[in-house]
């Protein structure tokens, strides 16, 4: 144990690269892990006093857009969910790595890919740390089920997997999920786009949501204070930060697939990562939905890719202890 970091055995960081794009429909989001690494991710991590442990990569070989949509059991015909088998297999592999990392009490950084991959990183961490708290930073609710989803894309459903709402669909490729998040283990921040039926589902489940309206009302400092009150109600617990880059306003992070205006500004985005880091309880982070392709397909937008990759790198830095003063 380290005095400042009570849930870690050492300042060792295991990196999981998850170049997975099947949870949505735009090619390119799978290129983010290698581009983040090319732009100095590992050097930055080392410069903040962390040693790099295991660096692994989920094999993207089978993750092509060539398989038919779903192989659902008969009772699920007609309900929409795309690539459950492929994504279930990829997430199972990620979960094994995340579980091993949690077992040795190291930090786990998982790079997407789209937001479906965190069913693996968080689901795996929960196998080892069932009391894990999760701060979910996103423009969207990510709470859809095959019934409420307008698109069938799994990147809009990860929280219904992680809270156990998906259990009733008996999707075999996700049957390795064993521990689920309860209400007091989950807080959403930055939300501003929820599908109509998804909203009803979120309300009936009772999820703690700090939408952009609460960010306006309390300021980001007030929001994070309230978030920690919920998560640490019964004392400190290990925390996982799931950072969807689309939570940040498109002005600061334009290269992402589902842009929604009115998001976190540059400092609000950083403050979330800094304040979670300051608790000393952070044990894992996901950085997802950076799509470098959306910038560089059009040379006029090359700058979009650069600023998005840059803020992604910086947010990891803030979460790992980088401070202004
Ligand atoms: Mn998301």
26-57 pLDDT, tens digit per residue, is: 889 999 999 999 999 999 999 999 999 999 99
Measured in Å, residue 244 CA sits from the centre of ligand 1 at 5
192-202 pLDDT, tens digit per residue, is: 999 999 999 99
pTM for the whole thing? 0.94
Per-residue confidence band for 217, with pLDDT thresholds at 50, 70 and 90: very high
**HEC-encoded secondary structure of the chain:** CECCECCCCCCEEEEEEECCCCCCCCCCHHHHHHHHHHCCHHHHHHHCCCEEEEEEECCCCCCCCCCCCCCCCHHHCCCCCCCHHHHHHHHHHHHHHHHHHHHCCCEEEEEECCHHHHHHHHHHHHHHCCCCEEEEECCECCCCCCCCCCCCCHHHCHHHHHCCHHHHHCCHHHCCCCCCCCHHHEEEEEECECCHHHHHHHHHHCCEEEEHHHHHHHHHHHHHHHHHHHHCCCCCCCEEEEEEHHHECCCCCCCCCCCCCCCECHHHHHHHHHHHHHCCCEEEEEEECCCCHHHHCCHHHHHHHHHHHHHHHHHHHHHCCCCCC
Q: Is 62 assigned a catalytic role?
A: no
pLDDT of res. 297: 57
pLDDT of res. 67: 44
Measured in Å, residue 246 CA sits from the centre of ligand 1 at 7
CATH value of 12-319 in 3.40.50.970, 3.40.50.1000, 3.40.800.10, 2.30.110.10:
3.40.800.10
Q: Is 244 assigned a catalytic role?
A: yes
Q: Is 301 assigned a catalytic role?
A: no
Q: Is 138 assigned a catalytic role?
A: yes
Residue ranges of domains in the chain: 12-319
Measured in Å, residue 159 CA sits from the centre of ligand 1 at 9
Average pLDDT of the chain? 92
Average pLDDT over residues 314-320: 98
267-300 pLDDT, tens digit per residue, is: 999 999 999 999 999 999 999 999 998 876 566 6
| Choice among 31, 140, 268, 270 that is catalytic | 140
pLDDT of res. 27: 87
Q: Which two tokens stand for residue 156?
A: 């809009």
225-275 pLDDT, tens digit per residue, is: 999 999 999 999 999 999 999 999 999 999 999 999 999 999 999 999 999
Q: Is 75 assigned a catalytic role?
A: no
pLDDT of res. 77: 44
| Choice among 93, 198, 246, 274 that is catalytic | 246
Q: Is 286 assigned a catalytic role?
A: no
173-192 pLDDT, tens digit per residue, is: 999 999 999 999 999 999 99
Q: Is 115 assigned a catalytic role?
A: yes
């Amino acid at each position: 144990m380290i005095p400042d970091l009570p849930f870690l055995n050492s300042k060792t960081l295991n990196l999981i690269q998850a170049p997975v794009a099947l949870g949505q429909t735009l090619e390119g989001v799978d290129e983010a892990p290698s581009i983040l690494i090319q732009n100095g991710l590992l050097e930055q991590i080392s410069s903040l006093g962390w040693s790099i442990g295991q660096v692994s990569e989920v094999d993207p070989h089978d993750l092509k857009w060539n398989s038919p949509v779903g192989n659902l059991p008969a009772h699920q015909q007609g309900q929409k969910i795309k690539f459950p088998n492929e994504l279930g297999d990829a997430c199972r592999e990620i979960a094994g790595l995340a579980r091993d990392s949690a077992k040795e009490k190291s930090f786990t950084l998982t790079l997407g890919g789209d937001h479906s991959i965190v069913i693996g990183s968080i689901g795996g961490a929960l196998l080892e740390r069932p009391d894990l708290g999760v701060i979910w930073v996103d423009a969207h609710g990510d709470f859809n089920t095959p019934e409420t989803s307008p698109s069938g894309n799994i990147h809009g459903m990860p929280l219904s997997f992680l809270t156990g709402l998906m259990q009733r669909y008996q999707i075999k490729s996700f049957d390795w999920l064993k521990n689920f998040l309860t209400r007091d283990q989950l807080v959403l921040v930055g939300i501003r786009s929820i599908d109509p039926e998804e909203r009803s589902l979120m309300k009936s489940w009772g999820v703690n949501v700090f939408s952009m309206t609460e960010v306006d009302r309390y300021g980001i400092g007030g929001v994070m204070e309230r978030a920690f009150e919920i998560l640490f109600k019964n004392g400190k617990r290990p925390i996982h930060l799931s950072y969807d880059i689309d939570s940040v306003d498109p002005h600061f992070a334009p290269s992402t697939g589902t842009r929604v205006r009115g998001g976190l500004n540059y400092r609000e985005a950083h403050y979330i990562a800094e304040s979670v880091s300051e608790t000393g309880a952070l044990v894992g982070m996901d950085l997802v939905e950076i799509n470098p392709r959306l910038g560089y397909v059009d040379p006029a937008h090359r700058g979009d890719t650069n600023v998005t990759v840059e803020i992604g790198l910086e947010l990891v830095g803030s979460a790992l202890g980088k401070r202004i003063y």
